[in-house]
């Protein structure tokens, strides 16, 4: 990967692809921007066109002391930190990627028209992980305006067999733009933006079979989409995409040799037909609160407050009501009882005698049942067992027959 960046990013181009006579009668122009990672470097990208700047490790190695062993200085692990001057992060349109500490870092993004004429100073801090030393350089980005911004017809491709740093290489991106130009045939063709699939919610691929994370590449042109690019919109291909099958695209063979494109995820946008929706939301304003004067805190000498009335309402009144209810309940249960003597005086004598005789008989029967030591009556026992045999009598023959029940056992 390091060799790929060293060879591919010594100079980057990304604006228009050069034309060739074998692609058609029209000649296409090529605009290149050469940029290397030097201290306090000025670069001039164009609005709406992909901007790529490579942070080469070889350049920053001169800022650090040499390695003790000759020939091993290239093994120094160097990482980069990039931020907008005076802020902790980069501008929203600018991204940065560096896979390992032994590969070059890449700044890339697509500036918009609102950034034209504004100098953006990026602070680049290189960290040597061997010596723990740092080196800081500045990159001044001067965004220029273009006459053909924005291009009206934009197409976004999803390439499954590429990572973002591989696609940013000038040779690889040039081959892709050449294939797109061959099937589209525009007069002007720009690479607008490149986005990793991980930034779109994609999952990190498994480290097997050399799987790639995938990358989205957006290109813009000045002519209508070709019939090949619109083949994915026909009902047959839409049905195949809904069934997670590859659509049938006639020009896929022109990409398949190097780029594995997911045609179901291609996005064709004609910005001339995009309807701008005006909302009724209020103007958010400048974000600065109006000047309403200085803040006047309350005085330290506050007036004392009497909480006695609050105490009575909150605690005393419920307690008093509870005491009254407790007194009434206690009087009803303890002071209003009639007693046994008063009850007997109000009860007729015949009723008391009858009740007393019943109570005495009940006690006598209970005492007799406790002293009884006879077995259960035979009438309550089963006559036959489950096997069908006759059960012998439980009591012996000399048992007192007066205690025998009416029902006799069978012999």
- What domains can you pick out in the chain, each with its CATH number? 2-66+75-270 (2.60.40.10)
- C-alpha angle 210/213/214, rounded to 5°? 110
Distance (Å, rounded) from C-alpha 239 to C-alpha 247?
9
Kindly list the distances between the CA atom of residue 385 and the CA atoms of 271, 375, 380, 395, 410, in Å, as whole numbers in the listed order: 99, 19, 14, 17, 13
pLDDT at 297: 80
Nearest alpha-carbon partner for 144 in 33, 12, 39, 9: 33
Tokens found for residue 57: 């490790």
Q: Is the pLDDT of residue 2 over 60?
A: no
Nearest alpha-carbon partner for 37 in 64, 17, 56: 56
Nearest alpha-carbon partner for 219 in 151, 271, 278: 151
Kindly list the distances between the CA atom of residue 407 and the CA atoms of 375, 377, 381, 395, in Å, as whole numbers in the listed order: 15, 9, 11, 14
Only one residue has tokens 């992060």, namely: 89
Judged by average pLDDT, the poorest of 19-23, 54-58, 387-391, 402-406 is: 19-23
Spatial CB neighbours of 83, under 8 Å, sequence gap ≥ 6: 89, 90, 122, 123
Nearest alpha-carbon partner for 50 in 10, 5, 110, 101: 110
N- to C-terminal Cα separation, the chain: 108
pLDDT at 33: 36
Cα torsion angle, 162, 168, 171, 176, sign = positive
3-class SS at 33?
Answer: strand
pLDDT at 378: 60
Nearest alpha-carbon partner for 154 in 257, 244, 11, 266: 266
Only one residue has tokens 């179901």, namely: 264
Helix (H) or strand (E) holding 136: strand 133-142
Residues 52, 104 contacting (CB under 8 angstroms): no
Q: Read off the pLDDT of residues 393-408 as tens digits, 9 standing for 90 and up.
A: 555 555 454 454 544 4
Q: Read off the pLDDT of residues 100-141 as tens digits, 9 standing for 90 and up.
A: 888 889 999 998 888 888 888 999 999 988 888 888 889 999
Report the pLDDT averaged over residues 321-331: 93
* pTM, two decimal places: 0.57
């Amino acid at each position: 990967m390091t060799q790929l960046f060293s060879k591919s990013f010594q100079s980057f181009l990304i604006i228009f692809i050069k034309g060739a006579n074998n692609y058609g009668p029209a000649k296409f122009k090529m605009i290149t921007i050469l940029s290397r990672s030097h201290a306090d470097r000025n670069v001039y990208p164009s609005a709406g066109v992909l901007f790529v700047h490579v942070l080469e490790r070889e350049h920053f190695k001169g800022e650090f002391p040499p390695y003790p062993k000759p020939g091993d200085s290239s093994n120094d692990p160097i990482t980069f930190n990039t931020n907008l001057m005076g802020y902790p992060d980069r501008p929203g349109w600018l991204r940065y990627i560096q896979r390992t500490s032994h590969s070059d870092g890449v700044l890339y993004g697509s500036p918009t028209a609102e950034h034209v004429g504004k100098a953006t100073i990026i602070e680049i801090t290189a960290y040597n992980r061997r010596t723990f030393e740092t080196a800081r350089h500045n990159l001044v980005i001067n965004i220029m305006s273009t006459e053909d911004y924005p291009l009206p017809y934009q197409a976004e491709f999803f390439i499954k067999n590429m990572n973002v740093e591989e696609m940013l290489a000038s040779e690889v991106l040039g081959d892709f733009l050449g294939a797109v130009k061959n099937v589209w045939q525009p007069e002007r063709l720009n690479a607008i933006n490149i986005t990793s699939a991980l930034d779109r919610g994609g999952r990190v691929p498994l480290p097997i079979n050399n799987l790639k994370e995938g990358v989205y590449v957006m290109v813009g042109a000045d002519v209508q989409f070709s019939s090949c690019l619109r083949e994915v919109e026909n009902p047959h291909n839409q049905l195949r995409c809904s069934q997670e099958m590859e659509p049938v695209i006639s020009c896929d063979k022109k990409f398949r040799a190097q780029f594995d494109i997911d045609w179901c995820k291609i996005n064709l946008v004609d910005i001339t037909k995009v309807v701008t929706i005006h909302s009724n939301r209020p103007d958010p304003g400048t974000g600065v609160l109006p000047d309403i004067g200085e803040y006047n805190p309350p005085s330290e000498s506050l007036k004392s407050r009497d909480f006695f009335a609050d105490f009575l309402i909150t605690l005393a009144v419920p307690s008093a009501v509870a005491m009254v209810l407790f007194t009434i309940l206690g009087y009803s249960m303890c002071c209003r009882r009639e007693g046994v003597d008063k009850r007997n005086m109000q009860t007729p004598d015949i009723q008391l005698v009858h009740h007393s005789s019943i109570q005495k008989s009940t006690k006598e029967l209970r005492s007799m049942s406790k002293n009884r030591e006879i077995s259960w009556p035979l009438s309550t026992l089963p006559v036959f067992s489950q096997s069908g045999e006759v059960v012998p009598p439980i009591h012996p023959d000399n048992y007192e027959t007066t205690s025998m029940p009416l029902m006799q056992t069978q012999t």
